[in-house]
Structure 1
Amino acid sequence: MLIQFVMVGLGGALGSMLRYLISLIPVNNTFPFLTLITNLLGALLIGFIVGLSDNLFISKKFLLFLKTGVCGGFTTFSTFSLEAVQLFQCGEHFLGTIYAILSVILCLLGIILGEYLGRLAV
C-alpha cells in the first residue's frame, strides 16, 4: 500500500511542477487561457494513457503514477472553478460562461482524442 502512495505522490509532484511551468508563460489577458490549455492538455494526456493501457500492459502502480499522480497534479480543475467564479464575480458573465463551456467541451474532446491516439500508438 505504501508504494501506491509514493507513486501517486511522486507523480503529483511532477504534474504540479509541469503545471507551474505553464503558469510562467507570460499572457496578459482577462481570459484564463493557461488554465484552459492546462486542462485540455491534461485531458488529452489522461485519455492517451487510457488508450495505451487498453492495448499495452501498464502496471497498476505505473498507472497510479500517471493518472492519479501526474494528471491529478497537472490538471487544474479547482483553479478552473475558482477562475470561472471570479470572472462572474467581476461582472464578466460572458467570459465566465464561455470559459466554463469551452473548458468542459474541449476537455471532454481531449479525453476522446487522447484515448484514440493512445490506441493508435500501440
Structure 2
Amino acid sequence: MNLLLIGVTGILGVYTRYFIDSYFLNKSYITGTLIVNTLGCIVAGTLMALLQQKSQSQQLYKIIIIGFCGGLTTFSAFILQGFNLIHEGEKIKTMAYLIGSPLLGLISLAFAYYMTNTFFLSNLK
C-alpha cells in the first residue's frame, strides 16, 4: 500500500512541477526551477519538523518526501540530506557533500555532453 501511495504522491509532484514549469516557461526557465526547488525544501522541512515533534511513523515521511517531493524535485532530498549531516555535527562530510555533489554532477553532465557530441553526433553528419 505504501508503494502505491508513494507512486500517487509522486505523480502529484510531477504534475505540480509540470504546471509550475509550464507557467514560467516563456518568462524564465530558471524561475520555475527555483520555485519547485524552494517549494520542495519547504515541504520537506515542514514535514521533518512535524514528524520529530509528534513521533509519527516513517511511512508518512516516505510517502510525502520520496513521493511528492521526489516527483516535484530531487533538490529537496539533496538539501534534506545535507541538513541531516549538519544536524548530526558532520561538518566535513556536510561540506564535501554539498560542494561535491553539484560539482560531480556538473562534471558528469559536461563529460557526457562532450562524449555524445564527439563520438555519436559527429558520426551522424
Output the TM-score relative to the length of structure 1: 0.54
CA RMSD of aligned residues (A): 2.8
Q: Quote the sequence identity (%).
A: 31
CA offsets per residue over residues 20-75 of structure 1, 9 Å max, x none?
Answer: 11112145345511111111111111111101111124332222111100010011
Structure 2 alignment gaps of length 5 or more: 76-104, 114-125
Q: Tell me the equivalent position of 1:6.
A: 4
Q: Tell me the equivalent position of 2:49.
A: 51
- The aligned amino acid for 2:51 is S
Moved more, 54-63 or 24-33: 24-33
Change (3 A) 1:76 1:61: closer
Runs of 4+ aligned structure 1 residues displaced above 4 Å come to none
Structure 1 alignment gaps of length 5 or more: 90-122
The CA distance in 2 between the partners of 1:30 and 1:20, in whole Å, is 14
SS in 2 for 1:28: coil
The CA distance in 1 between the partners of 2:34 and 2:74, in whole Å, is 9
The CA distance in 1 between the partners of 2:29 and 2:6, in whole Å, is 31
SS in 1 for 2:26: coil
Paired residues in the alignment total: 81
Output the TM-score relative to the length of structure 2: 0.53
The CA distance in 1 between the partners of 2:52 and 2:62, in whole Å, is 15
SS in 1 for 2:23: coil
Residues 79-98 of structure 1 mapped to structure 2, 5 A cutoff: none
- Larger-gyration structure (1/2): 2
Q: Tell me the equivalent position of 1:15.
A: 13
Which structure has more relative contact order (CA 8 Å, sep 6+)? It is 1
